[in-house]
Every structure is written in structure tokens, then in C-alpha cells.
Amino acid sequence: MNKALAQLIKISNVTGKDATLTQGGGGNTSVKTDDGKSMYIKASGTALKDMDEKQGWRRLNIDDVLGILTDKTIASLDTSRREIEVVNRLLICCDDNAKSQARPSVEAHLHALLDKVVIHLHPNAVGSYVNCKKGQELMNQLFKDQKLPPLWVSYADPGFMLATKIKSLVADYKKQYNAMPAILFLEKHGLFITASTDTKALKIVRDVIKKCNSKLKQIKAAKLKKIAVEKINSCKLAVRKAFFNATGQYTSVSYFYDNEIASFMKEKQAVKMLSSQAIAPDELVYANGPALWFEKCSAQRIEAKLKRQINSGNKPATTFLVKNVGLFVTAKKFSSLVIRDIVASSLFIRANAARLGGLITLNKRQQQFINQWESEAFRKKMATGAGHGQLVGRIAVVTGAGSGLGKAIAIGLARAGACVVLADIDAASAENTARIIKEELPLSQSLVLKCNVTDEKSVKDGFGKILDEFGGLDILVNAAGVAPAGPMTEIPVEKWRFALEVNLTGYFLMAQNAAKIMIAQGMAGAIVNLTSKSGLEASKNNTPYNATKAGEIHMARGWALELGQYGIRVNCVAAGNVFEGSKIWNPRYIKECAEKYDIMPEEVIPYYISKTALNKEIKGRDIADSIVFLCSDSARKITGQTIVTDAGQVMVR
């Protein structure tokens, strides 16, 4: 590996693993080659800790990068056109022949101005000063014994304007001290460290953090009060409902409670500290500003506050602090972990900056720039993923998701943007479905849930895990089923009872528990029973299957009448014969069908296809598409109905 690239990965991984130094995809690093012609730099949106020799960086020609700052045509452009032009020009400066679409950091021209190794971080310790009214004065005192003093950079919009400002300040610094500044403190932003080697740069980082922390109040480990699960879940449902009512967006809700959060909630001025604006770009980009504070968890109060933000032209907050309970985050599960770190950083900075002399925040114009800056939007998209599809953000549970139609339905719901819980008694098969979804949709969210749908405790515990993982529920698809076949005079009663348990009791228990959550959540919902054409038109030698599939349809009709008052829609999809990946259509069952119709086993599938009006084989995706439709807003006025997806074999009259 190239020496400069190896150094880049080293400094990135070391600093990126510490959430007190930088969070999420924030921070930047760069290392120049020995000949001074090229520079390896972190790619935009990549987390420092995730960089390796294959990904997360770009290499640029330094002269070309510096040329951006001297190009008067760029400086003359209006803000939005200028920043887009800079992004495009930086891509042109790349000389690594990379096939990926990764962008070099938008701060690349700033890095090109500095020494060989550059580390840009957003440390909690430094943030406490750069977001403080007396920050520059305090830093001068802290570093008064430094041979070469740090360079204080008053706030400038990130990107081109910041680079232009630092170019001028660095030139003045060199004239005064005949040397490059090693430490740059950026007001309302963070820290730049620059040195001739990676070892020196990392040492300076450690020294700066230690010195800054020496005057700050540190959070002490303490035994946390245990919060009742019922209380946490109640708050999750309230937050989710409020966010949906205010924004129209479905989202997961995650819960966090630790020493950092507990410590801040004990602050006497906690409410005042959070009442100000965002303190730094990351807080604005990822969390839409500071967390909202609530003495009690009330969906109505949360909704009202969010609507006031929106009506004022602001983005709605995504984080909520409930006194004596903890932090709730409305975001994808993996994004919520990043947001939690950003919030924890903000709480630490706010508390310490207030003690040091008063907090300063981004003003309205500065926030507007960040919110409209295409580079920040790109960074957030890279870090969190952009949702798409009819069911974006909705939380769905599918039974029997490890194989057959359950597997196809789970994949279909994930493709439509839903967070999918893969429930199956066979956890290994459900894990396989999860792998398939992840390979196709890397940013999708799924949860494997080992669940016996016929066991009341297993089902109840399963829904508890769903609330713990995602904080709500919008969709239930009952797809786990069995089909014991045989003549009515010969089939054992155990097989009859087994079919009743799985196909009826299983559907009932899942729907009962799902409905309770949907009612408590107050956001409507959709339940779909996967039934069969055999539930509408009986088939020979299929007594347990005929009876239970017909029962599923009638149960759904009754549930539709009961749950309609809560906006919960209940429908059925009566599937035709789906052979692809089916456990039901196994060699033994095919042999029984062959005997029933006096044909050869290899003729069974063509025979069944020939019975359809379309003369087409039905695939799992056909069933999944019907279910996605019934769960979407396109079917918002459909309930108590059965869609027959069988290529025209059974005509419902």
C-alpha cells in the first residue's frame, strides 16, 4: 500500500473510533505524498473508522485543488452555484482512476493549504470552547505557554468561504511566526491539526484534548435508575405518533439512556441549554437541531412542538429528551446510533460552554446555509441512506419469513422501503432471508425473530422485541402455514389439529398482539392474512387446508369490522399455486397430487398452471406485490376484502 494512504488510514481509524472526537460521517483527514504532488483525503460521508485501503478515500492533484481557490470565476458565483461548482471541480482534481462515485471531502482545498498531515475533528472538549462566548480568550489562556500559538478562526460558512478565509489567515500566520500553524480552532465548528508526520499529528490531537478537558466538568460513571419497559414503550409509541402526525413520515424510534444523558437531565438549566439553536453543522444536519425537552411524554405536546417548528420554517427535530426517562431518536436504527453520539456530544458541549461563560450557536443565516448546502445533504444521504418505495419507514412483521411465500413477501416489503421483522420458528432460514435482503438492499433494516406463532408467550415476547428494536408497528402479514393433505377418511386427527394451530391459532395470536400495539400507537395500520384459493373454492383431499384457509378469510372480515374504528385495515390475499421455493409443494405433496389426478409427478406443475385463465406460473413476487399494494396508501379505503392472485383460476362472485 502507498505510504501516504497507509498513514491516512491509520490516523482516520485511530481518531474515528472515539465518539468524543468525531461522530458519524463527520471529520476529515488527509495525507500528502512525499513528492508533494498528490493528496489522499477522506471521501465525503464516510466514517473515519470505516476507512480502509479499498474504500473511503480519494487521491487528488494538489496544484489543481489549489487552483480552485485562485479561480476568480468561482468566487464570483452565487452561493449555491459556487458550492456545486467546487464539488464538480474537486472531482475533476481526482487522479486515482477510482471507479466508485465517492466524492473527495468538500474541505479538500482547505487541506491542500496546510502541512503534510491534516486531521479535522469535532471533539467534545474543543466544542466546549469554540461554542463559548469567551472561547478565544479561554484558548489563549490554555495555550499561552505554546511556542507557536493556535490559530483561532472566527466562523465562516464551510466549504469555499472557509477555505478562502483560512488561506488568508495562514498566510498572515506564516509572516508573523515564519511557520505553519499546527493547531486551528474553528468557531462553532471544531479542530484542525496539521503536522509533518502522522505520529506528530496524533500526538498533537492527544495533547490538545487533554489540555482542553482539564478545565471541563467530566461525566462520572454512576448507577443508573432502571426505567420500566412499559414506560419506555409507551413513550416510543407516543413519539412515533407525534412525529407522524406532524410530518406525515413513518419512522423507527430508538431509545437511549446512559450516564451522559442522565447527567445532562440533572442539570438545573437543562431546558434553557436546549432552547437555543444548533451549535454546529453536524447537530443541524443529522438531528435538525437540539433535542426537544419534555417534562412528561405526551404525543399531543410533542406534536404541537414539532408543528410549531415546521410552521416557523424549520426542520422538525428528530431527538426528544423526556425527563427521568431518556433520549428518543426518530431515525433508521443504524442512523440513530450516530445521532445518539451527536446528541451526547451536544449535551456535553452545551453544559460546559454554559459554565465557561455562555453558549453561542449558529445564527439563522448560518443555519440556512447549512440546510441548503448540497454537500451536507450529500453527506447525510451517504451516512443514512435515502428511502424510497411505497412503504418507506413503515415497520412490518411477516410470519414464515424463512421460506416460500413468507420469504418472498418479506423481500417484497423490504423493496418497498419497509423495516421488516422476519418471524419464523426456523431462525436459520429467517437469517438466510435477512442476508438476501441485505445483499440487495444494503441500507435496509430487518430483524430476525425466532417465534412459534402457536405459542402465546413466544408471540408476546416477539412483539416486545419488535418494540425494542423499532419502537412501533404498521403492518402484519400472517404467512406461516401448513398444508397436510390426504383423503378425509384417512387423515390423522393430529394433522387436522396441527393445521388448526398453525393456520388459525397462529394467525389469531399474531393479529391480537399486533392490533394492541397499533391501537395504542394511534397511527392506523394494515393486517394481511395470506390465505389461498382453496379458502374460496375447496380442493379434493385437502380438508384441513380448505377449512383453515376459509377460516382465515372469515377471521379477517370480523377483524376488519372490529378494528376499522382505529383505522386498521384487514384484508386477505388468496394465493394460487406458487411452486417457487415452496415447502408445501415438496416431492411428497407433488406425488400425492399426481395420484389424485392420475398423472405423472413431473406433469403436476404444468397441469396446475394450465388450469389458470392466463396460463402463467405464479411467482412469489406476484403475491408480494399484491400484499405491498394492500399495505400501502393506494389501498387506504380497502378493508375486509380478499384479493385473489392466482392468474385467473378462481373467479370470486
* pLDDT 10s digits, 484-500: 888 899 999 999 999 99
- What Rg value do the Cα atoms of the chain yield, rounded? 30
Angle, vertex CA 157, rays to CA 177 and CA 122, nearest 5: 70
* pLDDT 10s digits, 339-369: 999 999 999 999 999 999 999 999 999 998 8
Assess contact for 190 and 124: CB atoms under 8 A. no
| 386 Cβ contact partners less than 8 Å away, ≥ 6 residues apart | none
Q: Give the CA distances from residue 124 to residues 189, 303, 383, in Å, rounded to whole numbers and listed in that order.
A: 11, 31, 21
Instruction: Return the pLDDT at 201.
Output: 98
Domains, the chain: 3-213 (3.40.225.10), 229-383 (3.40.225.10), 395-582+617-645 (3.40.50.720)
- Dmax (CA) of the chain: 102
Decide: residue 172, CB within 10 A, 0-12 exposed, 13-18 middle, 19+ buried.
exposed
Read off the pLDDT of each residue in 240-262 and give the average, rounded to a whole number.
Answer: 96
Assess contact for 12 and 26: CB atoms under 8 A. no
The three cell numbers locating residue 128? 466546549
Give CB contacts under 8 A, 24+ apart, made by 463-468. Answer: 463/397, 463/513, 463/514, 463/517, 464/229, 464/233, 466/395, 466/397, 466/421, 466/517, 467/233, 467/236, 467/237, 467/517, 468/233
* pLDDT 10s digits, 107-129: 999 999 999 999 999 999 999 99
Instruction: Return the pLDDT at 377.
Output: 55
Instruction: Return the pLDDT at 168.
Output: 96
Query: Which band of pLDDT confidence, cut at 50, 70 and 90, is reported for residue 223?
Result: confident
Q: How far apart are CA 459 and CA 633, in angstroms?
A: 28
Read off the pLDDT of each residue in 574-586 and give the average, rounded to a whole number.
Answer: 85
Ramachandran angles phi, psi of 156, nearest 5°: -140, 150
* pLDDT 10s digits, 66-76: 999 999 999 88
Assess contact for 182 and 148: CB atoms under 8 A. yes
Q: Is 545 a catalytic residue?
A: yes
* pLDDT 10s digits, 14-61: 999 999 999 888 899 999 999 999 999 999 888 999 999 999 999 999
The three cell numbers locating residue 556? 379477517
Instruction: Return the pLDDT at 361.
Output: 93
Q: Which entry of 40, 250, 507, 545 is annotated as an active-site residue? A: 545
The average confidence (pLDDT) of the chain is: 93
* pLDDT 10s digits, 375-422: 555 555 555 555 678 999 999 999 999 999 999 999 999 999 999 999
